[in-house]
């Protein structure tokens, strides 16, 4: 709306000039206020970003395609022992950084530019372990990709990891020592089969490897082999050491040893099915075994291996009532019972070991 002029006033008079002057002064005052209070107006987001960036404890910096540092946080400045002014615009290899770290940065940056994906590497510079992460940052197009680098000092984590590994090794050594002590106890009970448990464990382990089992399963089968006859501790010593054949009552007592072994082992928290393997190692594919007359794949994989290994070692060993069989005789008998008493794949693996790979029991 046009300004109404008082009587005797015309446009362009002194009052109009004063009005415009006041308007200009107010505009100038507002501009000056913006300059004096950036944290409350235009510059607030940028300042907040800088505060957050500097609060991060890991050194972070932005590299351009020429490996020049174009941004960095306070932790990076502290790592380089330089001011921001000394850092920004400088090439990364102009600073005092270990050659191992520089080589890794160049390699990761090059791979990041090629694949346009985040790259990670863990290195040891001698006194310090670093996890290096390079993230791609796109501004104009993929040709202008930059790399946001995060350096994480993980030395304390690696030290803890090494301590845990050492502790695990000691526990594992103690565990295997206990298992071997149990195996020795079993052997003392039955002098005619001394070493049987260790030889069965060795054969079972070799068969598991031949079948392509993973390292955890192989270790579990080895342990199961070492203690598979622990249940014989409940069988009277005079029966175990009897030089002749056993009568039906004596044989039934011996047949109880898998269940007795299971009862002894089931309360131990093994990382493998040791108790179940011991319980089932006298089961047979056709259901003629004991104690539960399981058939086929109802018998767990570990027990099917142990059944073959146990029979294999028994046939190759002398007993008071018979002589040991030859390897060919043993393999022939296993093959005759393949698919009847014993798992076909396990028997085939055993034959492969002895016939083609010349496996020897230590």
Q: Which residues contact 345 (CB under 8 A, 6 or more apart)?
A: 211
The answer on pLDDT for 12 being more than 50 is: no
Query: 127 is written with which tokens?
Result: 């006194």
Contact (CB, 8 A) for 280 and 300: yes
Which homologous superfamily does the CATH classification assign to the domain defined by 49-153?
PAS domain (3.30.450.20)
Lowest mean pLDDT among 25-29, 142-146, 182-186: 25-29
pLDDT exceeds cutoff 90 at 108: yes
Domain positions in the chain are 49-153, 168-356
Report how far residue 362's alpha carbon sits from residue 209's, in angstroms, rounded to the nearest whole number: 16
Q: Assign 266 a pLDDT band (cuts: 50, 70, 90).
A: very high
Q: Going by CATH, does the domain composed of 168-356 fall within 1.10.3210.10? A: yes
Is pTM beyond 0.85? Reply is no
Greater confidence, 224 or 5?
224
Tell which residue, 332, 302, 299, 298, has the closest CA to residue 315. Answer: 332
Q: What pLDDT, in 10s, does the model give residues 215-261?
A: 999 999 999 999 999 998 888 878 877 777 788 888 888 899 999 99
Q: How confident is the model at residue 18 (pLDDT cuts 50, 70, 90)?
A: low
């Amino acid at each position: 709306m046009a300004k109404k002029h008082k009587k005797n006033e015309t446009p362009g008079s002194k009052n109009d000039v004063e009005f415009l002057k006041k308007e200009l002064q107010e505009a100038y005052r507002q501009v000056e206020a913006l300059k004096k209070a950036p944290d409350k107006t235009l510059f607030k987001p940028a300042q907040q970003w800088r505060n957050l960036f500097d609060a991060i404890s890991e050194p972070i910096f932005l590299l351009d395609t020429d490996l020049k540092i174009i941004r960095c946080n306070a932790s990076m400045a502290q790592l380089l022992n330089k001011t921001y002014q000394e850092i920004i615009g400088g090439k990364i290899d102009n600073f005092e950084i270990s050659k191992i770290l520089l080589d890794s940065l160049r390699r990761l940056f090059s791979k990041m530019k090629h694949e346009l994906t985040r790259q990670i590497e863990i290195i040891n510079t001698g006194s310090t372990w670093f996890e290096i992460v390079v993230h791609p940052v796109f501004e104009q197009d993929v040709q202008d990709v930059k790399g946001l680098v995060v350096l994480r000092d993980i030395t304390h984590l690696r030290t803890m990891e090494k301590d845990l590994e050492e502790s695990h090794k000691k526990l594992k050594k103690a565990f295997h020592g206990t298992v071997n002590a149990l195996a020795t106890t079993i052997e003392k009970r039955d002098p005619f089969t001394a070493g049987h448990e260790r030889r069965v464990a060795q054969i079972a382990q070799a068969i598991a490897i031949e079948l392509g089992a993973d390292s955890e399963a192989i270790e579990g089968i080895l342990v199961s082999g070492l203690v598979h006859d622990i249940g014989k501790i409940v069988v009277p010593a005079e029966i175990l050491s009897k030089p002749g054949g056993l009568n039906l009552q004596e044989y039934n007592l011996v047949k109880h040893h898998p269940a007795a072994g299971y009862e002894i082992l089931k309360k131990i928290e093994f990382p493998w099915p040791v108790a179940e393997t011991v319980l089932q190692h006298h089961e047979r594919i056709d259901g003629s075994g004991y104690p539960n007359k399981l058939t086929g794949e109802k018998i767990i994989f570990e027990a099917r291996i142990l059944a073959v290994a146990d029979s294999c070692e028994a046939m190759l060993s002398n007993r008071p009532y018979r002589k040991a069989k030859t390897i060919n005789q043993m393999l022939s008998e296993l093959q005759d019972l393949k698919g009847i008493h014993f798992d076909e794949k396990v028997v085939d693996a055993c034959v492969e070991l002895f016939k083609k790979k010349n496996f020897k029991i230590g």
